[in-house]
Amino acid sequence: MLRKAEVLSLSRLSPRNHYAQKLLAALLLLTVAACSSQKPQPQQSPAQTAQAQSAAALQRWEVTGKLGVRSPKENGSANLIWQQASGNYRIHLSGPLGAGATMISGSPTGVSLQRGNDPAVFASNPAQLTEEIMGWPLPVSEMFYWVRGLVAPGAVSGEQRNTQGQLQRLQQAGWQLEFSGYQAVGPYQLPTRIKAATHQEAGPVSVTMVIKEWEPK
């Protein structure tokens, strides 16, 4: 950008360069206007970028903790063991909420749910399957991302992060999420408590996951 002194120097041009003087003056005004109108574009912070890249690299894990549910049909908690190997997973629930023992097993091609000694039930969508069998939806496909503190693919709104780039709040896939704790696990910063709430035709549903131990594989 030209400085003020350079503007004044234009007046010292000879008459033979009168046309050049006008041309330079016009270019100068355009340059000043362009510089004054430019605004910095919002960019992802280095902390936010590092957080997302680090957590996205985690594809295999075992998580132990608790799962609490409040819904018109269920109100209780269960012990949780979640084993993930890339796109394949096994989620084991035990205790009152799991009705003794419930195993949810899935892959990119579908999901099955087995309660106790009952025959396994198969479906393509884990949230629909858990709602049909257990009375409340468990959005496993999105939780694959949420459990690592990541945004799942698809539209989002209400995204809030702290100064370290960690998710604090998020609205996605019909759920409102709150992330209220993180812990360092090797190179990763991973959530320890996630609360997800949604509203079904039968009424509101909230699912709270409390993670006691992360074990990357």
The predicted pLDDT at position 13 comes to 42
User: According to the model, what pLDDT value does residue 35 have?
Assistant: 43
Q: What is the β-pairing status of strands 60-70 and 100-107?
A: unpaired
pLDDT given at position 52: 60
Distances (CA, A) of 81 to 22, 52, 64: 76, 24, 5
Which residues of the chain fall below pLDDT 70?
1-53, 98-99
DSSP class of 13: S
Distance CA 92, CA 116 (A): 11
Show the tokens assigned to 172: 């996605």
Distance in angstroms (rounded) separating the CA atoms of residues 42 and 194: 28
Q: Give the model's pLDDT for residue 86.
A: 86
User: What would the pLDDT profile of 138-180 be if each residue is shown by its tens digit?
Assistant: 999 999 999 999 999 999 999 999 999 999 999 999 999 999 9
